[in-house]
Amino acid sequence: METIATWSLLVLTLPTENATARMRFWRALKAKGCAVLRDGIYLLPYTEEREGMLRELADAIADSGGTAHLLRAPSLDASQEAEFRALFDRRDDYANFVRTLADARKTISGQSAADLARLLRRLRRDYETIVAIDYFPDDAATRAEAAWQDFVALVDTVLSPGEPHPVQRTIRLLPLDEYQGRTWATRQRLWVDRVASAWLIRRFIDRDARFIWLTSPDACPTDALGFDFDGAAFTHVGDRVTFEALVASFGLDKDPALLRLGEMVHALDVGGAPVPEAVGFEAVMAGARERASDDDQLFDEMSRVLDLVYTHFVATTKNANAGLRS
């Protein structure tokens, strides 16, 4: 038997003389996934966080000249519970999203790396928007998740063949002096995580590093240190992409600029919290990839870009810390 839920109800009258404010509040209610019981009465399944969001919205409505009252109440019985839950049915949203994925699959062939990355980012945002307001996920959510994961895997195959699967293991702190003058190997046709990892190795770990760009992970020499492919010495670990795993492995995580750079690489490689610099970096990377004659040239060009981005993050993190101290 299903537990009877508690609901947050927002009863409001929007300001009549401010059309901009009315539209802003309506969009905010829609973005939070509120169900409409009738004009001016909105419903959400209760949690402390959701009620806090509604309380902030109610205060903003009141400040703009409208009225808003926030109430909390349980369903009267199972019948009302089912009626209320039905208002949050996201099956149509998921079905539309799955159809969008099917259409997008037809456009993948021939797209540039930058276009594919933008497509993936946009669709991820659309998917996460639905998931964020799916308060009672069911089979439709499961099917949509499977379709989304299949689509991501397809794009990864095109964009970055051999993209590694994360492993679950403890990251041990490694001695830098044992990793000097080594040969490092990763997959050819460098993309964000691999080029950033190679830059990190050359700049902070092994200044005399020699790199091999592999046609296949199976071609990795036994004496080379592999990175960013399945079975490599350094690869995705848990939620960390290869760049972040390398930072942690060599004790570089005390450098806030490297951590910020890691957030950018993470967002571009597997998604995550947006980083303002990410879009620009991705555009430069895509342009360099189109122009470079080989991965050595691409690495050289992107190393200069990464030097500049790192310098930018050093400055911004210092300024942020100075602001906190003042």
Domain ranges of the chain: 6-86, 91-159, 176-325
Digit-coded pLDDT (tens) for 180-219: 999 999 999 899 999 999 999 999 999 999 999 998 888 9
Higher pLDDT, 323 or 73: 73
pLDDT of residue 246: 98
Phi, psi of 70 (to 5 degrees): -105, 125
Digit-coded pLDDT (tens) for 167-179: 999 999 999 999 9
What's the number of CA atoms in the CB half-sphere (13 Å) around residue 316? 13
H or E element: which one contains 96? helix 91-105
pLDDT of residue 1: 42
Mean confidence (pLDDT) of the chain: 90
The tokens for 274 are 């947006």
Contact 261, 314 (CB under 8 A): no
Tell me the C-alpha distance between 147 and 134, whole Å.
17
pLDDT of residue 74: 93
Tell me the C-alpha distance between 8 and 294, whole Å.
59
pLDDT of residue 323: 57
Tell me the C-alpha distance between 193 and 234, whole Å.
12
Tell me, yes or no, if the pTM score tops 0.95.
Answer: no
pLDDT of residue 110: 76
pLDDT at 30 over 70: yes
The predicted model gives 283-312 an average pLDDT of 93
Digit-coded pLDDT (tens) for 58-86: 999 999 888 999 999 999 999 999 999 99
pLDDT at 259 over 60: yes
pLDDT at 162 over 80: no
Domain 6-86 fold is: Alpha-Beta Plaits (3.30.70)
- The 3-class SS string of 151-196 reads HHHHHHHHHCCCCCCCECCCCCCCCHHHCCCCEEEEECCCCHHHHH
Digit-coded pLDDT (tens) for 224-247: 999 999 999 999 999 999 999 999
The tokens 């002096």 sit on which residue? 177
Range of lowest pLDDT (3-7, 193-197, 257-261): 3-7
The tokens 């930058």 sit on which residue? 114
pLDDT of residue 216: 87
